[in-house]
Each structure stands twice: as structure tokens, then as C-alpha cells.
Structure 1
């Protein structure tokens, strides 16, 4: 499958979307598990889109980890059924720990994030984008159905935010930086998963809106290494800088709006220590985001050069820059 326009790729992408939608639309743990398996079996051929040895190795690692988490998930679901005689309820504390850990492993959250960086540095940017966004949708939805273990989810949230930030500090590979950044953002999403699902979804959508143009521009114009950001190319540096700083959560950009709304909700819930740890993780990650921005600012001669790639994302980039005046008042109106 060396050709990325191979006709069967459309089939695999369709089955991948179908598997996720099957998990999202079900209230039955067995059919959710079936949806995750459909998603996994269609995503593996997409990881081998260029037919390289490194991709085959990455897809094998991904298959083993996802199979392990799926096995624990179905085992936990069967134990829950034996205990409750129902596939729909979540009332056994011991079993929910099993299901929770299997879903965190599937998501790549700390402290079970070890497998994610080792496979992301070997895949293309388009598949990396799918792995960091679409593949997290169904497990996040399933996590929101767990009624127990609030404290454990908060600990995983803090660990993900801190580990994702600390591990990215000495990285020079852009794919690894984006992967650890994704783990850090996952911590923010998980902090609200049991309190307000809508805000988790809002954060997730904002992350996708920022990631689409950023990963495409890095893929089309820049290489995989951090120093390549200083190379002469046709990219509009100010656009990429704005997207990177948005991921960092600097005001008045879209990423800041997401973090601010979650912080307001956590403070209203009197979760001050959790808020402090999340902010600490964001401050650490700000270092490597600013490092990337500085690399781009070095080549100031092409700061305002326009490019045809930018035109495809004008609406998303405008939304990113104008979110303070458009999105924030609307969301605050709904959560208050």
C-alpha cells in the first residue's frame, strides 16, 4: 500500500469513523467495545500507508497496546455484568478501576503514556493527527460514563498534564513535541470529564481546530526536527506562531479560552489544588512552545509572506485569533 490514494484507504477510513460512531451512540458496554475493535482494525492499515519498516513496527506496537487495553476492558465489563447482571450500569468500585485503567491506557494518559511517543515519531503527520484527535473521542466518551473513582481520574489528569509538559522539554523532534503536548492537553480534558462533559467536548473541539492548520503547515513546509523551523521556507511564520501560542494557552487566543473556562469551573467547584497543578503543567509547557515560536521568529525576513496553504485555513485561523470576542461570551452565557 505504497500509494496514499490507494482505493481501499477510503474503506478503512469509513470503517474507522463507523467504529467510533458505534461506540459513541451506544449505551451498552459490549457494543462500545465492538466499536473500539472496529476502529482499531481499520486504523492499523492506515498506519502502514507508506509501507515502510518503521511504520510496520509502530503499527505492531499500537496493536499490542490496544489489544491489551481492549482485553482488560472486556474482562472488566464481564465482571461488572456478573456483579450487577446488567451491561449498562457502573456500580462496582473494583471493576470501574479496571475499566478506567484500560481506557487511560487506550488514550495514552500518564502514567500509561509510555507507548505513545515510541510510535508517533515513526508515522506521517496526517496519521499522527488522527491518532491525537479522532482516536481519543470514543475512549473519552466512555470515561465520562464512569461514576466512581473521581480522585483517581483527578490524579491521572494532574500526572498527564505534568508528565506531558516535563517530557517535552528536551525534545528536538516536532512529532514528539506535539505528542507530549497532546498528553498534557488530555490532562486538562480529563479534569472536567466527570464534572461537565460539555466543557470537555468544547476543549476537545478547540484542540482539533488549532491542530488541523498547525499540523498541516508544519507537514507541508517544515521537516520533523526543531531546528528546521529556522530554515528558509514559504510559510507565514506569524500564522504558525499564533497557532503554537494558542496551544500554549496565551490570551486572547482560542487555547486560552478553553483553559480559562475549565479553570473557572474548577474554581467554582472549590478544586483549588487541582487548578494549581494544571496551571503549573501549562507554565512548564509554555517554555517549549515559546522555544518553537522563537525558532520561527529568527527568520523574520519571511514573517509576513503569504502562502496558498494559508488560504485553506483562513476561517479556522480567524476563529483562533478572534475567540476572545466571539466564543468566550457565548460559552460563559451557557455555563452560568
Structure 2
């Protein structure tokens, strides 16, 4: 095979590829290998390019005659990256004198997905185990020491109801999250009246706001265009955001919801609705803001559970907003509380 033809083949591969001679010298590399490990490697020993024992072992085995030798390695350059290493023996010398071909494929995203899945299962197990353990304890107490204690019955039944509702909220949010993640890449086909939706949410949450000594104030233009979107999902977004503002705002303060029409706002092309939900709470430390939409991430674990949070609400909001080709922005400070702003395009071509 001509060198130019071989180079064309290697250049078309997404993996970093090395042709190795019998003395471990690098005979040829493709651009992907040069980009990761540097240029001018031809003629040098492979150990100069990749100083990892498992990679070198796979190369040695291929040079010794092993048909395929594989390994998974992590290289710290400059960000830790996981590679699938494959070294294959070339049984006959070609015009380049190559005796093995070594390829490295970046599988970091696969490993990250596996870790996320593992973390998710662990988190769900922990979140369900806590109320189940509490329920088991209450049942054991009612069957034993408090068997004939009417006052204890009332107290423990109330606590059991609280834990059962907590599990129900968690399962409901898990189902919602699963649904929105599946549909995230599919644009909604309906239309949604945001003003009407928010008014319904405020009515639904009015009793909770009164109990928490808060008032929800809604500002919007006289005429607000409908958006392309799924009405139920948009309702879920503002149910989550307004309820959070009520839960975490300071007593005897307002929760403010403001709608504006904007154009060319960062992250959304064309005209869009900007809906800002602001509380007057203590604010969120800046280091936590980038992680707020992660599943089960909480700034204050105990407080979140005390107010009935599952740790999934903002993850659901993020995926719904993404499905609508919008953007979620979060700002927070001690003097102003927290502001969650949702940008939703007014036309289907915006993204």
C-alpha cells in the first residue's frame, strides 16, 4: 500500500493511531495522535510518547505476536482522560517495517456516563432508604412499646404520613425526570399561554404562600404572545420555581414573577419571553450555583428535606427548558435573594 493511501486511511480515523516497528520505534502517526501527544514523534520510542505501563505492556504483547491486546488507561494531560487502548500484531512486515498498530480511543464520556448512572442509583437508593427506615421504626414502635398508647399512635401516624408523602414526591419526580430526559431532543408541537399558566400556579400555591407569610406578585405586559411549547411541562417549570421561591424566601416578603419580551438575549436567537422568579431569601453562595441543576444536588441537605425537597426539581426544570430550546439563568446575592430567569423562544426556529 502506498504511504499516501495509508495516510488517507489513518487521517479518517477518530482514534489516535501509531504504527510501531519491531524495536518499539514510532514509524507513522495520524493527526489525532499528533494533536494529543505532540508532533515529530516518528523515529522515537513509543515510551517517549505514552508513559503508561499498561499501554506499553499491550504494545509489547502485540509486537511479540498477540493478535489483539487491550487496556484501559487514564492519562493526566492536561485534564484526566480515559482511553481504550488496542494493540494489534501485524504478521508480515510491510514497506514501513511496521510490526504492530496501536490505537487510543477517548472513552471518557462513556466512563462519565457510567459513573453518573452509578451515582444516580446510589442517590435514589439513599433517598428511598431514609423514609423506609423511618417507617419501619415507627411500625416497630407501634407494635411494641407504644401498642396501647393512643397519643403515640396519633404522633407516629402523622410522622408516617409525612414519610410516605416524601416517598411519593420522590417517585413522582423520578418519573417526571425520566420522561423529560427521553423527550428532551424532541421539540414540543403545541402552544402554551405562559400568563395563564403562571396565574394557575399562583392560585394553586396561594394557601402555601399564606402559611409561609409570603405574597406572590405577578408583573406582565397587557398582551403576551403564546409560545410554542408543552403546556403541562411549562406549568411544571413554574410550579417548581415559584414553590421553591415560597419555601426559601424570608418570612413576610414578596415572591415576584416578572414577564418581559426580549430579543437577542444570550443563548436564545430571536424574540423570546423572559420570565424571572425572584425571592427575598438569604441567597445562594456563588460556588453552588453551577451545580444547582444536578440531580440530587442540595445547597443545604437538612433544610431541603425539611421543606419537602427531593433534589430533582431544578434538574426537571433544566431538561424542560432545554426541550423548549430555551435557557435557564440563575443569579443570587445576599441583598436581592435569588432570581431564576427562564428564556423561552417565541418562534420554533430559535435555539
TM-score of the aligned structures, taking structure 1 as reference length: 0.23
Structure (1 or 2) with the larger CA radius of gyration: 2
Which one has a larger percent strand, Structure 1 or Structure 2?
2
Which one has a larger percent helix, Structure 1 or Structure 2?
1
